[in-house]
């Protein structure tokens, strides 16, 4: 199939604005900080042990005694992979000899920990070599390989260096020999390698990678007894996962027959990304139809307004339709990264605005909200309501922390956020034989493979004018018009213009060098109402402006948000841009009431209602000014 595809890693160069500021933050603060974490040198952060694990694995392979045992989660290696990937994306934007040197040194260390047969995993190299490939349900060997494959492709594209790519191609051949040539049963407990193998296939042309990806997807759910038989054949476990819970690990049915997003949310969207990517390569209609059903299950019935997914901390999982509690939400940062990946792959097959709309929603709210504004602390879980004293304290709310942490024992989210921000240009722009696509509004210059070159200027997501200058002409420029924009104005070369509209995109045909295209979107703040089927949000309202979901924090509202009631008949007042507030932001203000007069636990006395103003800030900025209450959904008068 010849579909729309992401642009090359070097095709996008950020221009002044929001995206550039975040990518600079990742380069200057996040990547160096996480490098120190991996080396166990960051004050106040959980121990990582990643670098020591690779050193110890290399020592074992040399026949030497390691300095210690394996440390951390069974998937600890993947933290290094995601750091390399984030560094690669950053190097493509900001060349940096010192960062490249550090990455090269880490890659050499990783290479030294690869066994002669191509196997690469420090957990099962430092100890328990006899247990390799015997616990696919929990062992995460394929998951870690997948992340290193992604890192290898990104680093090769950014620097032209093949060292890690060669390491991972050797690893892929080892996996191929084990599962294809030697016909060992099994498929990954945590999907990831499927999408990574497809990246390897595109980068190397190695058809074994394509065959492996298809094999793992075909096996999932077809061999329903595999995990049960695997568990019965071994006398050890990592977490004691239920080998018969096919819903948790998305193996309850063959992938082409699955209809509802179930189980562990990150695993689910990584799987769906691989399914969509394979459908893009092979034209598999069964996979494509399944992806469409699963997409609608997520965005139509199981997604938070912030683009968060995964309603419960029990299994970090989806639950059932319309079960979207705010104060016990899980909404893992990695899950929203995975949702962006799934959306991007769906765009490759079907360039429809609805996919980019969700990609944008996830990025500007949950993904960015998962990181503190200084890049030094992170959320693993992203609740839509926080009440200090309950959140992070009560047994039912233990996972919903009211403040970000410097690091985590399970540290998948921080480097995942970093790699996503650094690579946002690949999500923002794409191309096909027919058109060049602008899926997200990202200021900067883009050089498409077909020769077209454009420059985008915008102050998005706070400014709603987008200007494209055509530096080199081409056939068609297609620009997404988001569903939330109730009105839009188009201009071409200072004149009103009416482009062809199709599936949420404005198509500008025959653009030439020197052409100027301008788009003005709806810049109003809006009240948003939930489905009546979401019990948690009965009688509530949320507030949005553009792609940003807003929330009320106690610090802006008299120290208390629980007593606030929104007047959804009032005007939403949009402030001027405030450069010194929360890294630069715009607040929204609207009318409301504060209830009082109820001192006892329950009362027959009607509460007093006092008119007041309510101030809201973007959700991604919450929790940066100390401990306090926060709500996205506010009761309405």
Positions marked active-site: 316, 412
Distances from the Cα of 314 to the Cα of 180, 264, 267, 346, angstroms: 35, 9, 14, 29
DSSP, res 131: G
User: Within 10 Å of residue 447's Cβ, how many Cβ atoms?
Assistant: 18
User: Within 10 Å of residue 421's Cβ, how many Cβ atoms?
Assistant: 24
Report residue 27 as tokens: 């380069």
96: region left, alpha or beta (phi > 0 left; psi from -120 to 50 alpha): beta
Nearest residue to 423 via CA among 3, 14, 5: 14
Which residues contact residue 493 at a Cβ distance below 8 angstroms, ignoring those fewer than 6 apart? 515, 516
Distance CA(147)–CA(79), nearest Å, equals 9
Q: What is the 3-state secondary structure (H, E, C) of 445-480?
A: EEECCCCCEEEEEECCCCCCEEEEEEEECCCEEEEE
Note the helical H segments in 113-240: 123-126, 141-159, 163-176, 193-204, 207-219, 226-232
Structural Rg of the chain based on CA atoms: 25
Pairing of strands 608-618, 588-596: antiparallel
Pairing of strands 540-545, 548-553: antiparallel
């Amino acid at each position: 199939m010849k579909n729309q595809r992401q642009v090359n890693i070097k095709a996008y160069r950020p221009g002044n604005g929001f995206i550039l500021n975040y990518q600079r933050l990742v380069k200057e603060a996040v990547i160096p900080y996480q490098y120190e974490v991996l080396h166990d040198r960051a004050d106040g952060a959980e121990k990582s042990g990643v670098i020591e694990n690779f050193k110890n694995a290399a020592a074992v392979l040399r026949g030497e005694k390691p300095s210690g045992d394996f440390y951390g989660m069974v998937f600890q290696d993947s933290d290094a992979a995601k750091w390399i990937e984030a560094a690669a994306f950053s190097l493509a934007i900001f060349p940096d000899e010192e960062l490249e040197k550090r990455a090269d040194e880490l890659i050499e260390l990783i290479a030294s920990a690869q066994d002669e047969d191509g196997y690469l995993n420090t957990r099962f190299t430092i100890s328990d070599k006899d247990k390799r490939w015997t616990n696919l349900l929990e062992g995460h060997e394929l998951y870690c390989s997948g992340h290193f494959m992604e890192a290898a492709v990104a680093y090769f594209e950014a620097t032209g260096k093949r060292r890690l790519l060669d390491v991972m191609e050797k690893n892929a051949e080892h996996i191929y020999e084990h599962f294809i040539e030697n016909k060992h049963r099994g498929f990954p407990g945590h999907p990831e390698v499927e999408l990574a193998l497809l990246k390897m296939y595109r980068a190397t042309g190695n058809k074994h990678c394509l065959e492996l990806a298809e094999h793992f997807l075909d096996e999932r759910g077809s061999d329903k007894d595999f995990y049960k038989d695997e568990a019965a054949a071994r006398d050890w476990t990592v977490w004691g996962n239920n080998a018969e819970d096919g819903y948790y690990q998305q193996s309850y049915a063959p992938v082409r027959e699955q209809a509802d997003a179930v189980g562990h949310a990150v695993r689910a969207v990584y799987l769906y990304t691989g399914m969509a990517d394979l459908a893009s390569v092979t034209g598999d209609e069964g996979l494509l139809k399944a992806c469409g059903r699963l997409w609608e299950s997520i965005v139509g019935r199981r997604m938070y307004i912030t683009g968060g997914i995964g309603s419960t901390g029990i299994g970090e999982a989806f639950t059932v339709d319309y079960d979207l509690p705010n104060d016990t939400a899980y909404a893992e940062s990695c899950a929203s990264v995975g949702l962006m990946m799934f959306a991007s792959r769906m765009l490759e097959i079907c360039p429809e605005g609805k996919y980019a709309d969700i990609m944008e929603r996830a990025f500007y709210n949950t993904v960015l909200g998962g990181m503190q504004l200084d890049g030094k602390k992170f959320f693993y879980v992203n609740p839509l309501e926080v009440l200090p004293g309950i959140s992070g304290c009560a047994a039912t709310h233990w996972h919903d922390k009211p403040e970000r942490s410097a690091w985590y024992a399970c540290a998948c989210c921080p480097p995942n956020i970093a790699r996503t921000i650094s690579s946002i240009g690949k999500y923002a722009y794409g191309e096909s034989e027919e058109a060049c696509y602008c899926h997200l509004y990202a200021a900067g210059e883009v050089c498409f493979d077909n020769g077209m070159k454009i420059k985008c200027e915008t102050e998005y997501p706070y400014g709603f004018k987008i200007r494209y200058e055509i530096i080199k002409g081409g056939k068609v420029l297609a620009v997404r018009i988001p569903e939330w924009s109730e009105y839009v104005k188009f201009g071409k070369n200072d004149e009103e213009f009416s482009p062809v509209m199709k599936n949420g995109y404005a198509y500008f045909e025959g653009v030439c060098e020197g052409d100027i295209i301008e788009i003005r979107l709806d810049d109003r703040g809006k009240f948003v109402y939930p489905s009546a089927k979401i019990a948690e949000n009965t009688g509530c309202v949320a507030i949005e402006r553009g792609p940003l979901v807003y929330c009320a924090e106690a610090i802006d509202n008299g120290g208390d948000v629980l007593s606030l009631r929104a007047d959804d008949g009032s005007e939403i007042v949009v402030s001027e841009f405030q450069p010194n507030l929360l890294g630069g932001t715009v607040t929204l203000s609207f009318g409301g009431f504060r209830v009082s007069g109820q001192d006892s636990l329950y009362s027959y006395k009607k509460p007093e209602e006092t008119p007041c103003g309510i101030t809201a800030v973007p959700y991604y900025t919450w929790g940066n000014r100390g401990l306090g209450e926060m709500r996205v959904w506010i009761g309405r008068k």
